[in-house]
Structure 1
């Protein structure tokens, strides 16, 4: 799984900024936010929108803040960084945002139950993935799906993992990842299979083929 794109950091940040509303709109669908694209655009622009719940507005503004953070940061990616992303994403939504989960959770629709995360083990896995001989794209996807399956946080796990993966892609000049609204049904089906089996081969390949965007250069 090679990198599809080979951009500079500046080019990749430009690409991410240009597509920020589209990506936020797509990720908000994971929380069943039902805003239209123009409504999402208006909220991201900092203007008020009638007929949208305060909870939905909070989800979108949280995602905006997380994206703005990763577009400015040059920090090394580690557990502390992932916790910081979750702190933005799950602000005012979860039992404790920005902290590892300390109790049991279930995942809707699957029998698999993730263990309570251990910070040392999580750090070790993050380091193993990042120091593996894989491409930057494959590392980002592998890390994203590891975070999702292990439900590291009380809430916002999928949103946090997608934004973390995008941070790694942007830093490597490997494009932007977006699972759009039309892809969600198939993605959720693959995700459920992955949760049960622990085998990320199929969902990684599907994501690689359908969800990465960039600038192709001559």
Structure 2
């Protein structure tokens, strides 16, 4: 990824440096506070990424960057069907309630929803994005075993649960935030009512 930056990102509507891109990972995917661009942490990560990119062409996406998304199923995704896939394939590592697994204080499998998961601004909250990642990588050690339908269904199930608020929330207004940041940003359930509950309220 190092050689692909600086690059424009729709998420924050500006050209991002590599450090800014990593700050976004801390803020959204990890639901944390981003280290300063000149911090020891980001300097170390940038140096490592620079070293990894030795010999890579600048501005050219290389094989293995990102994941192909499975085609949307003809009948659409089904959250209830996804719950069955989750129970059979995912719960053993990620917990029956999406809480993840710890060994002592160490998180060994990440939470997928709830207060400790990625937030509503993370790329993984998009069902299509999650479906691609899941199909290529999950269950652990058995990637490429779920069908397109199963990947979409389980991604929809995971992302039909509440999670931390989108840090870009506009004036405590979910609808305004959906219109500005989520409409047209893949398939997602932010600001959508599912089973009588408005998603996007966030958890802490």
TM-score by length of 1: 0.28
Larger strand fraction of residues: 2
Larger helix fraction of residues: 1
Look at both structures and tell me which one has the larger radius of gyration over its CA atoms: 2
